[in-house]
A and B are shown apart, each in its own frame.
Chain A
Amino acid sequence: MGAVRYLYVRTFVNRVRKALRRPGTYVHLVILGFYIFALPFSLKMVTEQAGMDSPQGMAAVLTVYALWVIPANLIAYARRKGLVYRKSDVHFLFPSPVSPKSVLLYAHLKTLTLQLMLNLCVLVFGRMTFSVELWRLCLYFLFSVVVHNLLEGSIMMLLYGSEKLGERQRGMVVKATYGLAGLLVLMALYACLKEGFSWQMLKDFLHSDMVQLVPVAGWYGAVVHLLFTGPTTVNLICTGAYVLLLVVLAAAAWRMNCTGAYYEDAIKFSEDYEEILESRRQGSMGKRPGRRQKVRKAGVRWRGKGAAALFYRQLLEYKKSRFFIFDGGSLASAIAGVGLAWLPIGENSFVLPGASVYVIFIFTALTGKWRKELKSPYTYLIPDTAFRKLLFATAIQHVQGLVNACLFILPGAVAMGLAPDITLLCLLFFVLFSANKLYALAMAEAAGGSTLGRTGKQFLQMLFQSVAIMAAVAGAWAGFAAGGIRAAHVLMNVCLGLVTLIFMIIAMMNFYKMETA
């Protein structure tokens, strides 16, 4: 067995073995299985309503995929990005006598398992949602996994590994691909202006000959149309062009000379990639590959002693960052808030706290800087109490919670015409529930320690928060029974506040010694 194949197979086998030893894997598999079998049924209704529950609908969806993914991949390869090498590859594989072309293929094939799984999903969806015949789906599976992979692998090798193409020529490929994408957008706009936007217009556009005539991505669409909707003159010609392109590019890639000049760019991308992974583990979501985070000049007036330093250091970091304390969560809250105001939600003031619970419980990450403090030994060396350390390490997170609360609650409250005191109570609920999630996470960290994995800790956190939700609901019922809507809002906040306070006290354990973190 060749070295690269050995590496690929052993890595896969060991990963599977390791995953099978984790209980979380089985939970994930159950959830995944549920989605794979439940989603096609629910999508069936949507596609029926849109009149897309046919092989033609499947061809349209796969054409959208091709128009979106193929140009993006072309651009990534031409920029020598998109192939993920780990630092271990740089250590062992790059200096070794393994052919640099094999090293390229190895990176490309790393995604093979994922591709197989996605294509299996396409099989299931195709049969259950779009009612496509099985033999057509099997043909598509072979086309996607074997034929298209060969074409994409050849393109990747020629763009990424070629030593004849200079930076200028690769830049021209990027520009040409953007040009092609621009052309597609113009074609879509033209169709839209001519016929007015509608589902039918969109479908007609995706089935149109002019889309199938677009090189590479359009030709992929032509093959898909040939497979699912039958032959036409245009899709036969474009399929022929696709096959010809595959033969020419595969031959060129086979003959191409490659000594590994791409290693330097690959190392740079791998370093950026690992940096992003690390920063995400630390809770920072703002980093993007190949781009240095812009840091502004800023200062802060340090006040207080001991653990207060944690707060001011975080404040300084936020002041230096481009968007201050605003992040993706703020944007999502604003969009969700406007969306909620736009929906016909009636006048029930409990809709807003209910939506807050849904959004925070399911979607909000709350990784933030507080988690980073737990990884730093200096946090534990600061001569201060664990309570103050927790308070100051998480203080800015609560301010973020308030900002997100305003963005999420206020549009809906205005649209519903809620009284100011009820609006304030809804805002308070959002902030309290955000804090509750934060402390539930911290409790899960303390309880799970190093014995539970990320999934296990997430389940613990959800369990803790379920208790908080039940307490809030009980408070709301009691308040409603005692004195109406206002009392219900007040008691709901009081109960949630008390549970959150208990969570906070337990979460303090994290700050006693590093071992619990």
Chain B
Amino acid sequence: MLEVMELSKKYGKNLAADKVGFTVPDGKTGILLGPNGAGKSTVIKSIAGLLNYKGTVRIQGMDSRTQEAKRQFAYVPELPYMYEALTVREHLEFITRAYGVEVSREELLELLEIFELKDKQEKLGGELSKGMMQKVSICCALAIRPRVILLDEPMVGLDPGAIKELKAQLLKRRADGCTILISTHMLEMVKELWDVTFVMDKGKILGTYARESLGNEDLEELYFSVTGQQEGVGQRGQSGQENRAVESSGNGGPEGRER
């Protein structure tokens, strides 16, 4: 389970995240949506422990800054950066040592096979294309068998085959009880993955929506109506708050919409 409570982050005078709160339970996939500059990256980086913030983040009930919590948690950043002098195989070896996870050679090979990296094992990080780097980043995250996975725009740079495999892997992990949080703009790509959506703008959570309560409504339609952006035009439309009763507090749970 991932719990974010009253998370606030300031850059100088600019409040990038304002008392953000949400929960993604075990075995559920949460999607963090919002226009550019909404504060998604700040929230994601704060959860990953890369930024100092006010508030609380809990991973499986533990403070996210503790090493025990970090052992349960994997992070796939938006832009992958490899160690130039480590091979693909050494990246995996390093990450399993860092997380103290015993992973058999067969398991690692299977993961590399899934993402078509088996023949790239001995390539150095500096020799990989951006798409390959993203695949290695995903493999590293999956290799440590996390209980909570945080993915920031994970589909960017991936080929259709890798996107399909990533979705399959995420569905499998979810079925095993893993908590997943994805920040993305590619709404089409997460259609079949999501259980709960958190829509953010201007550093605040505008609303929390559970899949079962939305019925047939499309994620895209929901996004545009909540943020007030017009589909395809990019102009400010009718405010989402005028159409639906959306809770703007930071305590969104997955229970339902219009709470």
Contacts and interface: CB of A to CB of B under 8 A. Distances in A.
Interface of A: 1-3, 6-7, 10-11, 14-15, 18, 86-88, 90-99, 259-261, 263-264, 267
Interface residues of B, number: 36
Contacts of B50: 90, 94-95, 263-264, 267
Given A2-B97, A96-B98, A97-B98, A10 B90 contact: yes
A91 B81 contact: yes
B90 A99 contact: no
Interface in B61-94: 65-68, 70-71, 73, 75, 77, 79-87, 90-91, 93-94
B49 interface: yes
A97 B70 contact: yes
A94 B49 contact: yes
A96 B99 contact: yes
A3 B94 contact: yes
Contacts of A98: 98
Contacts, number: 84
Given A92-B98, A92-B140, A93-B98, A11 B86 contact: yes
B175 interface: no
A2 B100 CA distance: 9
B52 interface: yes
Per DSSP, chain A at the interface is helix
A11 B85 contact: yes
A14 B123 CA distance: 11
Contact of A92 (B71, B83, B84): B83
B124 interface: yes
A503 B187 CA distance: 54
Given A92-B140, A96-B70, A260-B65, A6 B93 contact: yes
A7 B83 contact: yes
Contacts of B85: 10-11, 14-15, 18
A480 B133 CA distance: 63
Given A88-B82, A95-B48, 8 more contacts: A87-B79, A87-B81, A93-B98, A95-B49, A97-B68, A261-B52, A263-B50, A267-B50
A87 B99 CA distance: 19
Contacts of A1: 97
Contacts of B214: none
B93 A259 contact: no
Nearest to A87: B81
B184 interface: no
Interface in B1-33: none
A275 to B, nearest CB: 14
Contacts of A14: 85-87, 90, 124
B51 interface: yes
Contact of A7 (B68, B79, B84, B86): B86
A165 B49 CA distance: 19
Interface in B89-117: 90-91, 93-95, 97-100
12 contacts: A2-B97, A3-B98, A7-B94, A10-B94, A11-B86, A14-B85, A87-B81, A88-B81, A90-B50, A90-B81, A92-B94, A92-B98
B70 A88 contact: no
B70 to A, nearest CB: 4
